[in-house]
């Protein structure tokens, strides 16, 4: 296809949805976090995709601050039994990061493609 055919899609929208950053229709991921080899619609090679540990760090930072802060807040306000803390901790520190990891990784990869970012070269 002609390169001029593609619109300038939002990296945030396509990345958070896990769609191809060029055509916004193909899938960016082949599994939960495994990046596909290429777009199944426009054929864009995802060989540029290298988010490294960036998504993990952003999600971990958010989950730890919100999770631990919520746990302390619940303890200070209500002093609930330990099982309530375990339940809250499981949701905030395990489930929420698992739900956030794929969209954040997609966002970083889409932004990497949009800005044509590459590894540093010496």
Q: How confident is the prediction for the chain on average, in pLDDT?
A: 89
Q: For residue 86, give both structure tokens.
A: 């375990």
Confidence tier at 2 by pLDDT (50, 70, 90): very low
Distance (Å, whole) CA 49 – CA 112: 7
57-104: pLDDT as tens digits: 999 999 989 989 999 999 999 999 999 999 998 999 899 999 999 999
Find the distance separating the first CA and the last CA of the chain, reported in whole Å: 34
Phi-psi region of 52 (alpha: psi -120 to 50; beta: other; left: phi over 0): left
Specify the DSSP class assigned to residue 68. H
pTM of the model: 0.85
């Amino acid at each position: 296809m002609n390169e001029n055919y593609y619109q300038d899609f939002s990296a945030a929208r396509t990345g958070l949805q896990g769609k191809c950053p060029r055509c916004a229709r193909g899938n960016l991921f082949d599994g939960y976090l495994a990046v596909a080899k290429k777009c199944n619609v426009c054929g864009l090679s995802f060989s540029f995709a290298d988010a490294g540990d960036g998504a993990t760090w952003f999600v971990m930072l958010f989950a730890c601050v919100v999770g631990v802060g919520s746990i302390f807040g619940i303890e200070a306000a209500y002093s609930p039994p330990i099982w309530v803390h375990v339940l809250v901790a499981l949701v905030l520190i395990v489930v929420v990061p698992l739900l956030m990891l794929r969209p954040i990784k997609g966002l970083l990869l889409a932004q990497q493609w949009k800005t044509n970012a590459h590894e540093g070269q010496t």
